[in-house]
Amino acid sequence: MIKRELYKKTIRRRLRQLTALLGVWAVLVGGRLISVQIAQHEHWRAQADRQQRRAIRIAPVRGTIYDRAGRELAKSVEAPSIFAVPAEIEDVEHTARELARVLRMAPGTLRERLSERRDFVWVKRKVSPEEAMAIKALALPGIHFVTENKRTYPNGGLAAHVLGYAGIDEVGLEGIEFTYDREIRGEESTVFVFRDARGRTYERKQRPVAHGHDLILTLDATIQFHTERELSEAVRRTGAQSGVAIVLDPKTGEILALANAPAFDPNAFARASEAARRNRAIRDLYEPGSVFKIVTFAAALEEGMLRPNEIIECLGGRIVLAGHTIRDHRPFFRLTAREVLEQSSNVGTIQIALRLGAERLAHYIERFGFGRRTGIELPGEARGIVRPVRRWTPVSVGSIAIGQEVGVTALQMAAAMAVIANDGVWVQPHLVRAIRSREGKVVKRSNPERRRVLRAETARALATLLEGVVERGTGRLAQLSGYSAAGKTGTAQQFDPRTRRYSKTRYVASFAGFAPVTDPRIVVLVALDHPRTRYFGGEVAAPVFKRIAETALHALNVTPDRPQQRPLLALRANFASEGTEGEWGLGDSPAETENGLHLSSLPAPGGGGNAIVRERQEAVLVRVPDFRGQGVRAVTEHCARIGLRPIISGSGRAVRQEPAAGTLVVRGTTCRVEFQ
């Protein structure tokens, strides 16, 4: 009995001990569970995610860049990218060999990547659809695909120096793409790849991407295309080292075209040379030469120190300043101020500058914006070189008056000419009209700086003088068909740092002007660096101005202010010929003839008459092609080949056109093509 009681007490004691032990164990386990599941929840969850899930960052979808008419200049498209999970690869050698064959990559490079002790490696990003299909067909273990976004430029090299380009991670590296990267870029996306305990992929999820804002540019794709074409042809024809052409609206400061030669394709920017990618229009400095005389004349007219018809002594085309001789290209003696500008007399211009003095001349150079950036929305714009008056030499007032001893950009010079065309008001050149959200809401509009430089009367008086340059002076080859024009030629010797003298073989030939004179709609600047055939601005740059200006005015539907010349019929007989600048038209005066042939005497189609006349009449007639189904670039190139002036609306493929296909028209006729 006693033994039984002792046994029961022992059992109860041991049960209490076990219960206590279990209680302590339960408390410890519960505490640990609370610690792991609550206090350390995020830590262990993150560790589990690292083991089971791989996050792949995907570049954002950049906004689309449009021209002023809504045509796409840059956009993002989906592109497959290939990655590998090395743990899943069964045969590294075979996999590397097959991938290298399709992707045209080095087998050794791929073998090294696929052998890494990592759970994720890129094989090749943003491959072509054909490459992706070929790799998928191989069904290689451990090789996977993810959809990324790729920046593409559907028009190839069109406006490349304005647009710039984006890198492999969709980050803007140059041009508008760089300046507005924050607005265009949007937000990154993430692809989550889930794996089991053996490291095998069993699921993939992608977070939706956030699109960036769209940009509406001031560029006109049609004008840009023709400007690039004419500039490239001029560089080729003259053997120039490079060239720049700018078209802008003087009233708004909107740049309609900005072209550089040589050019490049932003779709393959890495293969282009640094020289081809350089935006010379805003980065390269040059001495403008005689085009800069507009500043000297503007200052003298504004200060009341010059009358257009007063006589200027030109001293036989030779003047000496502080022992330094400056000559004219011809021995002028007594010219009116009007003729000084028309004939581009250096001596006459210096005589006017001496009246002004260094202080006044420097003041107007600053007012026109030289020596500081215009503020255009592109990276790397140069300030130019304008020395303070205290550093001028006794020769400087004469040299600077004729465009030496100063360094300007092409854009600065175009903006200065725009002051004359805009009644004396400088308007900041700009490229972006608006920033728009993906929903179509305008987020921001351009608000360019404006400031008055000259009185309106002064600007109009100078515009009349510049019209004389085109009508009677050195810029006669810049005369337009159907439109009045004004401008100034420039032939600037380049300074040779080796000899510390101006070169006798290297020049910058330029022309800057505007049209129509009565109501200027465009300013056009053309500059050719080191042309090797002819080098006078009036010979090599003025004809390029003519062709670009005529195309731009027609594209903008500007009404001719000289209707008696019938601009749509006053066409170049040798439109497709090389190296000729002649015009022949249906004018009324003997001046509007060429080679002694009065075109008003042309017989009606099908009639009799001189065989030469009939041959030349046929030379200006073309049949309108059927553009339906073609892309924008194909249509514009076709029009350029046969001499039609395209006006493009919409994007995609051509669906309608006017005139109709098969219509016989005169070269230069405007052809409207609608795309969808």
Q: Rounded mean pLDDT of 21-50? A: 69
User: Would you say residue 619 has pLDDT above 60?
Assistant: no
Report whether 166 contacts 266 (CB < 8 A): no
pLDDT at 206: 56
Estimate to the nearest angstrom the gap between the alpha carbon of 86 and the chain centroid: 44
Rounded Cα distance between 296 and 364, Å, is 8
User: Would you say residue 365 has pLDDT above 70?
Assistant: yes
End-to-end CA distance of the chain: 108
Catalytic residue among 76, 290, 344, 651: 290
pLDDT at 259: 98
- If one compares 30 and 191, the residue with the highest pLDDT of the two is 30
Q: Each residue of 248-285: pLDDT tens digit?
A: 999 999 999 999 999 999 999 999 999 999 999 999 99
Rounded Cα distance between 11 and 5, Å, is 10
User: Would you say residue 321 has pLDDT above 90?
Assistant: yes
Q: Each residue of 387-405: pLDDT tens digit?
A: 999 999 999 999 999 999 9
* Confidence band for 483, pLDDT divided at 50, 70 and 90: very high
Q: Which residues contact residue 651 at a Cβ distance below 8 angstroms, ignoring those fewer than 6 apart? A: 70, 71, 72, 632, 675
- If one compares 3 and 659, the residue with the highest pLDDT of the two is 659
How is residue 349 written in tokens? 């211009």
Number of H helices, E strands in the chain: 22, 28
At 295, the amino acid letter reads V
- The verdict on whether 290 is a catalytic residue reads yes
Q: Rounded mean pLDDT of 104-121? A: 82
Question: How many C-beta atoms lie closer than 10 Å to residue 676's C-beta?
Answer: 10
Q: Rounded mean pLDDT of 127-137? A: 87
- Residue 152: how many CA atoms within 13 Å on its side-chain side? 13
Rounded Cα distance between 39 and 32, Å, is 10
Rounded Cα distance between 672 and 676, Å, is 14
* Confidence band for 410, pLDDT divided at 50, 70 and 90: very high
User: Would you say residue 207 has pLDDT above 80?
Assistant: no
Burial of 650 (C-beta count, 10 Å sphere; 0-12/13-18/19+) = middle
Rounded Cα distance between 344 and 669, Å, is 35
Q: Each residue of 60-106: pLDDT tens digit?
A: 789 999 999 999 999 988 888 888 888 788 888 888 888 888 888 88
User: Would you say residue 201 has pLDDT above 80?
Assistant: no
Q: Each residue of 412-457: pLDDT tens digit?
A: 999 999 999 999 999 999 999 999 998 889 999 999 999 999 999 9
Rounded Cα distance between 394 and 397, Å, is 7
Task: Tell me the backbone φ, ψ of residue 80, rounded to 5 degrees.
Answer: -75, 140
Rounded Cα distance between 364 and 299, Å, is 6
Angle at which helices 346-356 and 293-302 cross, to 10°: 40
Rounded Cα distance between 542 and 668, Å, is 19
- One-letter-per-residue 3-state SS of 611-655: HHHHHHHHHCEEECCCCCCCEHHHHHHHHHHHCCEEEEECCCEEE
Q: Which of 207-216, 338-347, 389-398, 472-481 has the lowest mean pLDDT?
A: 207-216
User: Would you say residue 618 has pLDDT above 70?
Assistant: no
At 518, the amino acid letter reads T
User: Would you say residue 362 has pLDDT above 90?
Assistant: yes
User: Would you say residue 51 has pLDDT above 80?
Assistant: no
pLDDT at 128: 84
Rounded Cα distance between 231 and 223, Å, is 12
Report whether 551 contacts 567 (CB < 8 A): no
Rounded Cα distance between 86 and 201, Å, is 11
How is residue 634 written in tokens? 């194909």
Task: Tell me the backbone φ, ψ of residue 183, rounded to 5 degrees.
Answer: -75, -35
pLDDT at 232: 96
pLDDT at 577: 28
- If one compares 412 and 643, the residue with the highest pLDDT of the two is 412
* Confidence band for 204, pLDDT divided at 50, 70 and 90: low
